Amino acid sequence: MKALLQNQVVRAITETLEIVNNTGQLSIGTIPSPIVEQPKRPEWGDFSCNVAMTLASTVRQSPLKVAGVLAENLGEKFPTLFKRIDVAPPGFLNITLHPMHWLEVLETIQDEGASYGTSQIGKGKRIVLEFVSANPTGPLHVGHGRGAALGQAMATLLATAGFSVSREFYINDAGRQLQLLGQSVYARYREYWGKDSSFPDDGYHGGYIHTLAESVAHTHGETLLEGSSNEAETVCAQEASEILLHDIQEDLSTFGVSFETWFSEKTLHAKGLVQSTLDELQERELVKEEDGAWWFCSSVFGDEKDRVVKKRDGTYTYLAADMAYHRDKLARGFNTLINIWGADHHGYIPRMEATVQAFGHSKESLRIVLVQMVSLLRGTQKIEMSKRAGEFVTLREVVEEVGSDAAKFFFLMRRADTHLDFDLELAKQQSSDNPVYYVQYAHARLASLFRVAHERGVCLPTIQDVDQTLLLREEELSLIKTLAQYPFVIEGSALAFEPHRVTFYLQELAAKLHAYYNKHRVLPPVDSAGKSKDGLPDGPLETNGKVASSERASVHDSLTPALTAARLALLRYVQTVLRNGLTVLGVSSPEKM
């Protein structure tokens, strides 16, 4: 299998740097790894490289001169790869390949299919990706949905880049929040039976608490009214959290998000791992006793102050369990721990970084990805949500209204750390204004084209079957160059933990496809099929974008079976890449819309 074109260019430049270094044309010393990218303007060639400018100061020559030397050597050494190499001020190398080389991209996609875009950069690295981790004290809301979509996409993305990824949901099924849930449900339970009740001040006010109370009333009758309220609250907490966790699992599953591991906080306590974690750190003087409480000396690792892990009343803080949990993750042999958190938890980062360091791992082995809030809009009208009153729009409601695909795509349209406006009306709209339909439609449109081709007895060829020279015009090359970028988008996106880059890429690819499709006929019109005479491989290439109907007719006249075949082959690979990208995002690729 051939190396990706861009990597061939990188290698060529690297070899050239070595040559000019060895021959003394330039005294470079350590050869840098050159950065090659597709420039934004077509007149700057297929690839551009800025290595001459970065080297200028070390070789004590002007960037232009360095670029000149490199250009000359590159051209001499790789005449079959490069058609021309320009030097542009202030020192760019603008590289144009012999166009035929671009067709290799299509062969690569043909060979790799659904694997096109995968790489091995993450090979051998094991990542545990923790996300959602919502308390089982209420239904998932929209914010959780964003975290879920992001986590799922990131897991797929990292796996695509060769990492071994395990998705994990940490269940906070111990501690104060659960206790509050029990108290809240028990209060509603008493109300249900017409008894007096004391609702906790900071309890859960959502309407779903009533439903849970009714459920408890159904299974336990009035038996919880007598006896200690403590016990009754524990029963309520237990039963309510089980129901809620079940709902959470169901919602996530419906949303298309799954986990390898559901990790229960309770099991850490049950196995004594929370205490043993503290004991271990105490022996190493990273946990100390003071004022009747136990403190984690996180300030040793740069946190602004030490943190309580065991309260004066003998109970553990959330942090203590979380430390035990992260110790466990490290003990399971993961190299990198990625946690996706709501941005309001950012203040918690230093103490978790301190935690992994306390266990002898580098700060970098923990990577926290923060997710900002989601505002739901209906058109321009903002939907107000009040956490205090327990009024928020649930993930389930959103998915029921707009569907999983649209919801996921919208959640992945923005960088994680920026606030997201989610317009429910737009997400439902079936038009090009709606980005998810726009991209999916590109896929469905091609599927439809291939169906029609099939019905008319035109087979869907592979790149090896067609006259490839028919794909060498700028129109087709532009599409092919975009396809060539895909593996680099995946790689960059994975290394930066930024799935939104894939979303943007897909919109760009879909836009190019739609434009191409609109402009160029692929199948011959029904009545003249097979009768078209040979001629120029297309009509005059209009530059102002307007296609007069007379021109269209001439386009059809010149549509030969060979050209149809070549275009079908090209579009088949466009469809493959669209599908691969959508798959990374967890969004379906419909055959029909």
- Tokens representing residue 511 in the block: 């836009």
In whole angstroms, give the CA distance from residue 259 to residue 133: 11
Cβ 17 to RNA, closest distance in Å? 15
Binding segment for RNA among 10-18, 71-79, 152-160, 312-320 (CB under 7 A)?
312-320
DSSP string covering 18-70: HHHHHTTSS---SPP---EE--SSGGG-SEEE-HHHHHHHHHTS-HHHHHHHH
Residues of this chain, 148-187, that bind RNA according to CB under 7 A: 172, 175-177
Residues of this chain, 316-335, that bind RNA according to CB under 7 A: 316-319
Q: Pairing mode, if any, of strands 366-371 and 336-342? A: parallel
Rounded to the nearest 10°, the torsion over CA 459, 462, 463, 469 is: -10
- Tokens representing residue 249 in the block: 């699992």
b/e code 23-39 from CB counts within 10 Å (16+ = b): eebbebeebeebebebb
List the one residue from 146, 414, 481, 572 that touches RNA (CB under 7 A). Answer: 414
Contact letters for RNA, residues 228-257 (x by CB under 7 A): ------------------------------
* Closest CB to RNA among residues 218, 546: 546
In whole angstroms, give the CA distance from residue 153 to residue 158: 9
Q: Does 497 bind RNA (CB under 7 A)?
A: no
* Closest CB to RNA among residues 217, 352: 352
Q: Does 339 bind RNA (CB under 7 A)?
A: no
- Tokens representing residue 276 in the block: 């043993």
Contacts of 380 (CB under 8 A, 6+ apart): none
Binding segment for RNA among 100-108, 208-216, 240-248, 410-418 (CB under 7 A)?
410-418
List the one residue from 81, 88, 383, 472 that touches RNA (CB under 7 A). Answer: 88
Q: Fill in the DSSP letter of residue 312.
A: T
* Closest CB to RNA among residues 359, 441: 441
CB atoms near residue 482 (< 10 Å): 20
DSSP string covering 447-494: HHHHHHHHHTT-----GGGS-GGGG-SHHHHHHHHHHHHHHHHHHHHH
Residues of this chain, 91-150, that bind RNA according to CB under 7 A: 91-92, 94, 135
Distance from the first to the final alpha carbon of the chain: 36
Cβ 533 to RNA, closest distance in Å? 16
Q: Does 546 bind RNA (CB under 7 A)?
A: yes
* Closest CB to RNA among residues 307, 579: 307
Strand partners, 172: none
Contacts of 470 (CB under 8 A, 6+ apart): 537, 562, 563, 566, 567
* Closest CB to RNA among residues 122, 190: 122
Binding segment for RNA among 207-215, 359-367, 417-425, 572-580 (CB under 7 A)?
417-425
Q: Does 288 bind RNA (CB under 7 A)?
A: no
* Closest CB to RNA among residues 358, 571: 571
Total binding residues toward RNA, as defined by CB under 7 A? 93
Strand partners, 340: 369
Q: Does 518 bind RNA (CB under 7 A)?
A: yes
Residues of this chain, 32-71, that bind RNA according to CB under 7 A: 39-41, 43-44, 48, 50, 53-54, 56-57, 63
List the one residue from 431, 530, 531, 533 that touches RNA (CB under 7 A). Answer: 431
* Closest CB to RNA among residues 225, 308: 308
Q: Does 379 bind RNA (CB under 7 A)?
A: no
